[in-house]
Amino acid sequence: MTKVTDLELLFPVLNQSSVKRSCTDRQNVILAANMVRISWFFLLIIVATASGCAQFSMSTVEAERKQLEAQNTPPQNYKPDLLAFMRTYLNNPDNVREAAISEPRKLWIVDTERYATCLRYNAKDSSGRYTGLRDRLAVFISGKLDRLIELAPAERDASESASARYKPLRDYCAGAGYQPFPELERLHR
């Protein structure tokens, strides 16, 4: 009886005759070719699936864009909306001076196009002193007031990124065609 070594157990082909080994080699080549075909098949399935996900993702982005566009309607009663908001926003809404407002217009607010209007006024702070003329931007979604962005001068911004992000809006409001807004000046709590 022959003793089988560990090497022969791990590699049984070493223990076979050369004729038998050549048959096994051919079978291994055929097996390898089949494995390559199967690998290509699975690769095609993965690529097809990924492209389907990309198509789904593109349709989702398109749906979001259409939803944002549907919300982008011009405000009809923007002055009463602003007055109602300013009544609660201002620390002391009495005796606002030099109030002015621009007509609503589509602007790019950070990364979305929205209707917005510039608002400029000089209001009292909590101690009763006037703070100076300041610009703000009122942003509207679906024709209603969404938020009021304070457009502080560049040196007042806390961060450089906020300063750079709001610079185009500051520039627009600095040159906007303002009209007097006496309703804001007559505002009382």
pLDDT of residue 34: 73
Q: Which residue has the higher pLDDT, 65 or 77?
A: 77
Distance CA 25, CA 36 (A): 16
Average pLDDT over every residue of 110-138: 88
* Averaged pLDDT, 14-34: 62
For 133-143, what is the mean pLDDT?
91
Domain count, the chain: 2
Average the pLDDT over each of 45-49, 115-119, 169-173 and give the range with the smallest value.
Answer: 45-49
Regarding whether 100 and 50 lie in a shared domain, the answer is: no
Q: Which tokens hold the place of 79?
A: 């002055």
Q: What is the pLDDT of residue 137?
A: 94
* Same domain, yes or no: 38 and 102: no
Domain span at 89: 78-185
Q: Is the pTM of this model over 0.85?
A: no
Summarize the confidence of residues 163-189 as an average pLDDT: 87
For position 30, what pLDDT does the model report? Answer: 75
Residues 63 and 119 in one domain: no
- pLDDT tens for residues 79-103? 999 999 999 888 888 888 999 999 9
Instruction: State whether 94 and 151 are in the same domain.
Output: yes
Query: 120 in a domain, yes or no?
Result: yes
In a domain, 4, yes or no: no
pLDDT average, residue stretch 165-171: 85
For the chain, first and last CA: distance in Å? 109
